[in-house]
Structures are given as C-alpha cells and as structure tokens.
Amino acid sequence: MYSSIIIAAALFNEGATTRAALKKARTLLDDGGKVTLVHVIDEVPGYVAASIPKEHMAARRRDVDAQLAAIAAEAEGMTVETVIREGQPSASILGAAQEAGADLIMIASHKPGLSDYFIGSTAARIVRHAPISVLVTR
C-alpha cells in the first residue's frame, strides 16, 4: 500500500502510541518500504534558552535519540529510520515527510479540548496542510 510512512513519534507515554503506530504501519507498508520515526523537540524561545545550560539540551536530544533507537530496534523485519527535529511540530513533520518522499503520515491525536478549537492541534494542522494521506489514530 505505502512505500514510505512517516510516524510522528510521541515519547511522553514511554512511546506507547509510537509503538502502536509502528505495529499498524507494518500492516500498511509495502515489501521493501521504510518507516521514518520523526520526533520534534519544541523550539525554546531565545530568552529561555539563554538560561538553560547547553549540556541540558544536548542531554535531552541524546535521550530522545536513545528512545527512538530502542523503538526502531523492536521493529524486526522493517526498515526504520529515526529523525529528530527542532521547531514547530506540524511544520517539522510535514517537512520530514516531504524530504523522505513519504506517501503516508501517521499521527496520534488526543481528545480535543477547548484550546484546540482556538489554536488547533498538531494533528489537525497536519491533516489540513499535508499533500499526502494522513492516518490519525487514538
């Protein structure tokens, strides 16, 4: 069905939603296809970044890299790459999808709250702006 799948990797719940998405991707992936796990570290405003030690940010990135690598290693028989980006989540995920030549983006969504109606969630932004298919899971 799909030759290149991007999974927006959420790590806040020990990667449970990412692991579930990876399991689903296995059923959707063509033979010889690849999955790319993309995690976006929110950009820290300059006035805040100035007070955060650089080593703290580097340690955070290493931690994210290790978590993604562990999840990717569990996907036996699949080609899984990992990408870490910094910036605005929806734009970063869409950019990674374009660079990977993806034909599907998978993203988990939460139950919408009042704030989502005013600013929109990452999943909603991706659905609105993606030029390719998007699978939103709960």
Answer whether 6's CB lies under 8 Å from 96's CB.
Answer: yes
Closest by Cα among 109, 61, 66 to 86:
61
pTM equals 0.89
Half-sphere exposure of 79 (CA within 13 A, CB side): 9
pLDDT of residue 119: 46
Looking at residue 7, its amino acid is: I
Residue 74 has pLDDT above 70, yes or no: yes
Average pLDDT over residues 90-96: 97
CATH code for the domain of 57: 3.40.50.620
Q: Say if residue 82's pLDDT is above 80.
A: yes
Average confidence (pLDDT) over 97-116: 83
For the stretch 6-61, pLDDT in tens is 999 988 888 899 999 999 999 999 999 999 999 999 887 777 777 888 888 889 89
Range of the domain at 81: 2-137
Number of domains in the chain: 1
